[in-house]
Amino acid sequence: MNYRNNPAAIDTLVRPTEVHRDIFISEEIFELEMEHLFANTWVYVGHGSQIPNSGDFYTTTVGDQPVVMVRHTDKTIKVLHNRCPHKGVKVAGDACGNTGKFFRCPYHAWTFKTDGKLLSIPLKKGYDPETFNDCEASHGMAAVENVRDYRDFVFCRLSPEGQSFDEFFGESLSTLDNMIERSPEGKLEVAGGVLRYMHDCNWKMLVDNQTDTCHPMVAHESSAGTAVRVWEEAPEGTPKPMAVEQFAPFISSYEFFEGMGIRVWENGHGHTGVHNSIHAAYSEVPGYLEAMNQAYGHERAAEILANTRHNTTYFPNIMVKGPIQTLRIFKPLGANKTLVESWTFRLVGAPDKLLERTLMYNRLINAPTSVVGHDDHEVYERSQHGLHSRGREWVNVARLYDPDEANRKNEVVNGTSEWQMRNQYQAWARYMTATMKEST
C-alpha cells in the first residue's frame, strides 16, 4: 500500500481494537512518522540542568532531526537545527559542552550566536551583500520556533503550526509536577549519566509496553521471580536488600495490577499506578520525610509522597517514573531500530540515598546490564520478527474495550485495560495525518 500523501490509507491502519502490523514494520510508515508525527507533537529534548550556564549545549535528535539545545546569553534555552547553513555540517559535534558566546563551524569557520543568528564569515568581502542577503544562509542556523521550558523539562514542536504545549499535554503535566515536588527545593538535576541501549524493534513497541500490566508476571517470572526465590532462602533476620525491594513487585499478581488502575488522558498520554503501584512500598529513607515536611508542611508533603504513579507515557516517545525519578526516551532510528536512553534525576535537597535508589533501579531494570530489561528486549525482537508473518495482519489491543470510551476523558479504569494503548494508536493516526496532504 502507498501511504505517502494518503491520509485515508493511514487511517485504515488503526481500528478501535486492532492496529495493522505495517505501523511497526513498514519503512515508508517510519519515514512518514519522522516527517509528520515527530513534527506535529511536542517532543522531549532535554533537561535544563544539563545546560546550566550560558553557552552550555547538548546535542540530540527530535525524531530523525539533529538538534542542539543551548543556553543563550540571556539564559533562555534555544533549540537549533544542528546544521550549518553553508554546506550542511553538523555545527555542534560533541554530545555536550560549552561553546562560549558562539558556535563555530569546523569546516569554514562561519560563526553563529547561540540563538542561531549568523555572526561572522571569514573573508566576507567575497560575498556581495545584496545577493547574500537573499540567500537562506544569511539567516544562520535555523532555530526551532516552538520551544517550551516546562519547569526545566524542555520540549519542542518542529512544525510551525499545531496544538499549543498546554493543549497537547493538558493534565498529564501533573506527573512531571509530582516528580519535581518530590524535591524539598522543588528542583531536579540530571545525575548519574545516561544509560543507552539499542533494540532491534520498532519504537512503538516500547511505548506500548509502558502500560502493559499483563506482562510482568509472565515475561519477568524468570528474572524477578528468581531474585525473590533466592531472597526467600536468606537466613532469617537478613535485612532486605534494596535490589529485592525493587525486583519483587514485578511479579505481583494480576489482581494487584488490576487494582492499580490506569488513567487515560487526551492526545496519547496516560499512566498506570493510580491507586497503588510497584513503587508504593519502598522503605523510608532517613531524613527525607523530615525535609519534605519542613519544605511543604505535613499535609502537602504527605499528598506529594502518596502519589506513587507507576509509568506515565508522554506521547509520542518518553516515559516518566515520578516516584523513582527516571525518564526514558525511545529514540526512533528505523522501523526496526530503537535507541533507549534512561535518564536519572537527583532530588535537590533530599538525602543522597534517594539518588542511590534511583541509580540502582535504573541499572537493575532499564540498562543494557539489566536483568529484567532483557526479558522485554527478547519479546520485542520476537514481535518484530513475528509481525513479518503473513499468517495474521493485526495486533490486538481489545482488552477491556468500551465502545463509548472515545467520548470519555481523563478517566481511571481497571489497571489491566489496554485503553491507554488504544489512546496512543488513535493519537498516532491523528498526528500522522494532521499535516498530510491528499494526493491529487
Q: How far is the CB of 74 from ligand FES (least distance, A)?
A: 25
Contact between 108 and ligand FES per CB under 6 A: yes
Q: Is the peptide bond before 160 cis (omega within 30 degrees of 0)?
A: no
Contact between 124 and ligand FES per CB under 6 A: no
Residue 376 binds which of ligand FES, Fe ion, none (CB < 5-8 A, kind-dependent): Fe ion
Contact between 152 and Fe ion per CB under 5 A: no
State how far the Cα of 177 lies from the Cα of 183, in Å rounded to an integer: 10
- Residue 31 has which C-alpha cell? 519515514
Task: Count Cα neighbours of 353 within 13 Å in the Cβ-side half-sphere.
Answer: 10
Contact between 208 and Fe ion per CB under 5 A: no
Contact between 56 and Fe ion per CB under 5 A: no
Residues 199-258 that bind ligand FES (CB under 6 A): none
Q: Are 114 and 103 in contact (CB under 8 A)?
A: yes
Q: How far is the CB of 308 from Fe ion (least distance, A)?
A: 18
Contact with ligand FES (CB under 6 A) among 9, 34, 89, 243: 89
Contact between 359 and ligand FES per CB under 6 A: no
DSSP 225-263: HHHHHHHHTSPTTPPPPHHHHHHGGGG--HHHHHHH-EE
SS3 of residue 214 by DSSP: coil
Query: Which range touches ligand FES (CB under 6 A), out of 79-87, 132-140, 147-155, 400-408?
Result: 79-87
Residue 84 binds which of Fe ion, ligand FES, none (CB < 5-8 A, kind-dependent): ligand FES
Q: How far is the CB of 117 from ligand FES (least distance, A)?
A: 15
Residues 264-293 that bind ligand FES (CB under 6 A): none
Contact with Fe ion (CB under 5 A) among 22, 152, 376, 418: 376
- For cell 539489566, the residue is 370
- Residue 5 has which C-alpha cell? 500523501
Q: Are 55 and 63 in contact (CB under 8 A)?
A: no
SS3 of residue 90 by DSSP: coil
Q: How far is the CB of 328 from Fe ion (least distance, A)?
A: 12
- Residue 218 has which C-alpha cell? 509472565
State how far the Cα of 323 lies from the Cα of 279, in Å rounded to an integer: 6
Q: How far is the CB of 227 from ligand FES (least distance, A)?
A: 52
Specify the amino acid at residue 347: L
**Torsion region of 88: left, alpha or beta (phi above 0 gives left; psi -120 to 50 gives alpha):** left
**Cβ nearer to ligand FES, comparing 122 with 237:** 122
Q: Are 175 and 277 in contact (CB under 8 A)?
A: no
Closest residue by Cα to residue 41 from 328, 338, 439, 435: 435
What is the rounded radius of gyration, in angstroms, for the C-alpha atoms of the chain? 23
**Cβ nearer to ligand FES, comparing 84 with 329:** 84
Q: How far is the CB of 113 from ligand FES (least distance, A)?
A: 15
Contact with ligand FES (CB under 6 A) among 107, 120, 124, 164: 107
Residue 394 binds which of ligand FES, Fe ion, none (CB < 5-8 A, kind-dependent): none
Residue 86 binds which of ligand FES, Fe ion, none (CB < 5-8 A, kind-dependent): ligand FES
**Cβ nearer to Fe ion, comparing 68 with 227:** 227
Query: Which range touches Fe ion (CB under 5 A), out of 108-116, 163-171, 328-336, 374-382?
Result: 374-382
State how far the Cα of 269 lies from the Cα of 316, in Å rounded to an integer: 8
State how far the Cα of 361 lies from the Cα of 358, in Å rounded to an integer: 5
Size of the site for ligand FES (CB under 6 A): 8
Residues that bind Fe ion (CB under 5 A): 376
User: Where does this chain bind ligand FES (CB under 6 A)?
Assistant: 84, 86-87, 89, 105, 107-108, 110
